[in-house]
């Protein structure tokens, strides 16, 4: 139980740091995103915590009002070996154009020890390139990120994009 409590506390701390790093309450008003380091600990339960989303729930950026939804989590064979590919749909719900340069690189940690998964970028295979250009108000864009870990090992796991945090069993993810 102590390990579970410590893992949940680490996930909550990561969420608080992510929200603090992406808030627009004062400070630099240049509109650039503040990178946030990933947690190295994954929770061992799928219980709801404040601000933490289940794998199938959509999340909305408080800073940009852009909704993010994980569409799929799939094993794939890439030029760099086996990877797990996360497909994420972004919807700009704001009245302003969302500049792709403001999109942070998603992070993934998995397993009881919270092992960070290596992000694999392969533009020729369509993953890791981030948001292409800008997303106008009301428009959507689907992006893909790949990680060097088998999907079967993603229970438990924490997937983070800026201030948005999803936790749970991604090993059996289906939409």
Q: What is the pLDDT along the chain (175 residues), one digit of tens a residue?
A: 344 334 444 444 443 333 333 333 333 333 333 333 333 333 333 445 578 999 999 999 988 999 999 999 999 999 999 999 999 999 999 999 999 999 999 999 999 999 999 999 999 999 999 999 999 999 999 999 999 999 999 999 999 999 999 999 999 999 8
CATH annotation of 2-26+33-168: 2.60.40
Give the pLDDT of residue 74: 98
Asked if 132 and 151 count as a contact pair (C-beta separation under 8 A), the reply is no
pLDDT at site 49: 54
DSSP state of 129: -
Predicted pLDDT of residue 51: 87
**153 vs 56: CA distance, rounded Å:** 18
What whole-number distance in Å separates Cα of residue 46 and Cα of residue 43?
A: 8
Tell me 37's DSSP state: P
The token pair at 36 is 């946030």
| pLDDT for position 129 | 93
Q: Is 26 helix (H, G, I), strand (E, B) or coil?
A: coil
Q: For the whole prediction, is pTM greater than 0.75?
A: no
């Amino acid at each position: 139980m102590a390990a579970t409590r410590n893992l949940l506390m680490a996930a909550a701390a990561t969420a608080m740091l992510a929200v603090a790093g992406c808030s627009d309450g004062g400070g630099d008003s240049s509109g650039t995103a503040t990178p946030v380091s990933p947690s190295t600990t994954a929770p061992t339960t799928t219980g709801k915590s404040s601000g933490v989303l289940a794998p199938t729930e959509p999340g909305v950026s408080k800073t940009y009002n852009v909704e993010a939804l994980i569409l799929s989590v799939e094993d794939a064979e890439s030029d760099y070996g086996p990877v797990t590919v996360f497909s994420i749909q972004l919807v700009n719900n704001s009245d302003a154009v969302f500049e792709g340069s403001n999109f942070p690189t998603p992070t993934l940690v998995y397993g009881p020890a919270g092992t960070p998964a290596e992000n694999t970028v392969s533009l020729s295979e369509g993953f890791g390139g981030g948001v292409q250009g800008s997303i106008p108000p009301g428009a959507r864009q689907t992006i893909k990120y790949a990680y060097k870990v088998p999907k079967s090992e993603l229970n438990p796991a924490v997937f983070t994009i800026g201030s948005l945090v999803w936790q749970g069993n991604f090993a059996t993810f289906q939409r």
